[in-house]
Amino acid sequence: MADGGTSTMIMLVTSLLLSGAASVVLIQSWGEVTQANGINATGRAADAETDVSFSGDRSDVLLDTSGANQEITLYFQNTGIRPLDKSSFSIFIEGTYSTTVGSASLYPPSGVWGSDHVLEVTVSDASFSFSDNDRVTVTIVVQSTVSEGVKGTSSETAEVRLSV
């Protein structure tokens, strides 16, 4: 009888030790999940605070056909809360990535693409073969500057009418 009680006690202590170790692993894993959830929430907040819109007259967008490659001049306004990274954006004309010609100009010229500031960009591509009054689809994808370890992203797509 004493042997049965001893083996039961050993099994009980072993079970308690194993369940204690398992709970430590679960608590540590839960901490990692909550940390990842916090980072995701910060990223979602950054996306919500990042926004860009077209600025200027969409029915009268300048098309320069005088050079070897056609150039289109576009204006974009930061309509979000976070400053946008003026060196990290992509522009697509009719789905084709377009390279920036020269440097982008910021209005007002503060150096920071802050809320309500406008960025003037001239883009070009060898495949452009547009004419006066052509309608094209323009898309811009922007990122905010890093804040709290995350960047927000936003995009805007619109149809514009080109004017020579």
Residue ranges of E strands in 21-127:
52-54, 61-64, 71-78, 84-93, 96-100, 105-107, 118-124
Residues 159 and 110 in one domain: yes
CB-count exposure of residue 46 (10 Å: 0-12, 13-18, 19+)? buried
Residues 104 and 41 in one domain: no
What is d(CA 157, CA 88) in angstroms, rounded to the nearest whole number? 17
pTM over 0.75: yes
Report the domain count for the chain: 2
What is the domain range of residue 25? 1-48
Low-confidence ranges of the chain (pLDDT < 70): 1-4
Residues 7 and 73 in one domain: no
What is d(CA 61, CA 73) in angstroms, rounded to the nearest whole number? 7
**Among 48, 64, 83, which residue terminates a domain?**
48
